[in-house]
């Protein structure tokens, strides 16, 4: 089975059973299922916080451009890359595409 590919229309959602702590502008997320801790920089933290299962990656990228000085394409690439990595690490689920 081919792994799910993150797209601009993907709807990522945070797992509710992970522990989330903010340290300065970064975040530590503990995954009890895997016994792993993940450190997110400020950009990844922002992206993770936007993953509500309602906003698609494109909408999250638009929010990112309003906070960081990034082009729409760069923001979209960053969101898709970060979401893909967080899905691979088990921190997010992608429910479906719009």
> What CATH number corresponds to the domain at position 49?
3.90.930
pLDDT score at 95: 74
**Could you tell me the pTM of the whole model?**
0.90
pLDDT score at 89: 93
> How far apart (Å, rounded) are the C-alpha atoms in residues 21 and 19?
7
Q: How confident is the model at residue 3 (pLDDT cuts 50, 70, 90)?
A: low
pLDDT score at 63: 95
Task: Quick: pLDDT tens for 23-79.
Answer: 999 999 999 999 999 999 999 999 999 999 999 999 999 999 999 889 999 999 999
> How far apart (Å, rounded) are the C-alpha atoms in residues 68 and 61?
10
Residue 16 lies in a domain: yes
- Residue 34: give the domain boundaries: 10-90
pLDDT score at 1: 39
pLDDT score at 96: 65
Residue 72 lies in a domain: yes
In order of 10, 41, 71, 81, 92, the CA distances from 61 in angstroms are 12, 16, 9, 11, 16
Residue 22 lies in a domain: yes
Q: Rounded to 5 degrees, what angle do the CA atoms 41, 16, 93 make?
A: 75
Q: Which parts of the chain are beta strand (E)?
A: 10-14, 19-23, 26-31, 36-40, 92-97
């Amino acid at each position: 089975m081919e792994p799910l590919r993150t797209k601009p229309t993907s709807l990522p959602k945070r797992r509710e059973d992970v522990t989330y702590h903010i340290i300065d502008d970064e975040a530590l997320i503990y995954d009890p299922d895997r016994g792993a801790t993940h450190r997110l920089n400020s950009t990844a933290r922002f992206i993770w916080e936007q993953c509500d299962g309602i906003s698609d990656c494109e909408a999250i990228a638009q929010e990112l451009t309003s906070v960081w000085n990034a082009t729409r394409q760069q923001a979209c690439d960053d969101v898709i890359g970060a979401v893909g990595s967080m899905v691979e690490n088990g921190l997010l689920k992608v429910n479906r595409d719009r």
